[in-house]
Amino acid sequence: MRRVGLIDQAAARFRDEVVSERWPVGERIPTEAALVAEFGIGRNTVREALQSLVHAGLLRREQGRGTFVISRSELNGTLGRQLAGGSRRHYLELRLALDLTAAALAAESRTDADVELLRELCDSRGAAWSAEDRDALTSADLALHRAIVAATHNPLYVTLYSSMLDVFAVHMRDEEVEDEESAHRRHRELVEAIADGDADRAAASVASIFDPFMR
C-alpha cells in the first residue's frame, strides 16, 4: 500500500473483507498482529483503520474478546442510530409500509424458486413457534419477511430492508403476541397469496398480520 492515505487504504481493504463475507457477520476478525502480518502495514494503521469501521457500524470491539463483524452495510449503523429513538407506533407504521409494498411487489415478481423458499421459511417459522423459543421465532419471522423483500428482485429494497433488521429484531422481542397460532396462519396466507401472484391479497394479509399490534 502507498504511504499516502494509508489508513484509508487499509480501511478500504478491511471493508472489502466484510462486504465479501470473508469476514462473516457475527464472527471475530483476525487479531491486529495477524492483520499486520497479512497486509504488511503498521499496528497503529491497522488499529485506526479498524476503528473507522467501528464508527461506521460494521465492526464492534468487545473487551477481552476481540473485534467482531456486526454488519455488512454501513447503513445499519446509520439507520440504527436514527431509528433507535422512534416510538413503538412509529416502528410499526414503518414496518407496515415496507412490508405491504414488498408483499405486493413480490406477488408480481416472484419466481418458482422464491415461492419454494418462502414456504420453507414459513414452515421454519412455525417450528420455532412450536418450540416456544422467542429468539428463534424472531429470527425465523424476519428471515421470512426478508425473503419476501428479496422476491421483489429489487436490490435497493433488499439493501434498505436488510439494514433495518437489527432494529426490527429488538422491537419484535418486546412484542407480546396474543394468538401466535392465528399469526402463523396469516403468515401462511401471505405466502400463498404471493405464490398465487395476487398482489391485493398479499397486501391484505400483511395488514391482517400487523392489525393486532396497531390497535
Along the 215 residues of the chain, how does pLDDT read in single tens digits?
444 488 999 999 999 998 888 998 778 999 999 999 999 999 999 999 999 998 887 888 887 888 988 777 776 666 666 666 667 888 889 999 999 999 999 999 999 999 999 999 999 999 988 777 777 888 899 999 999 999 999 988 988 888 787 778 777 876 766 678 898 999 999 999 999 999 999 999 999 999 988 87
pLDDT at 209: 93
Query: What is the domain partition of the chain in residue ranges?
Result: 6-72, 76-214
Is the fold of 6-72 the same as that of 76-214? no
Residue 18: Cβ-neighbour burial (10 angstroms; 0-12, 13-18, 19+): buried
User: What would the CATH number be for the domain defined by 6-72?
Assistant: 1.10.10.10
Of 189, 174, 186, 181, the residue nearest 211 (C-alpha): 186
Exposure string of 76-114, with b = 16+ CB inside 10 Å and e = fewer, is bbebbeebeeeeeeebbeebbebbbbbbbbbbeebeeeb
Query: What's the CATH superfamily of 76-214?
Result: GntR ligand-binding domain-like (1.20.120.530)
pLDDT at 135: 79
Q: Taking the alpha carbons of 111, 75, 44, 63 in that order, is the dihedral positive or negative?
A: negative
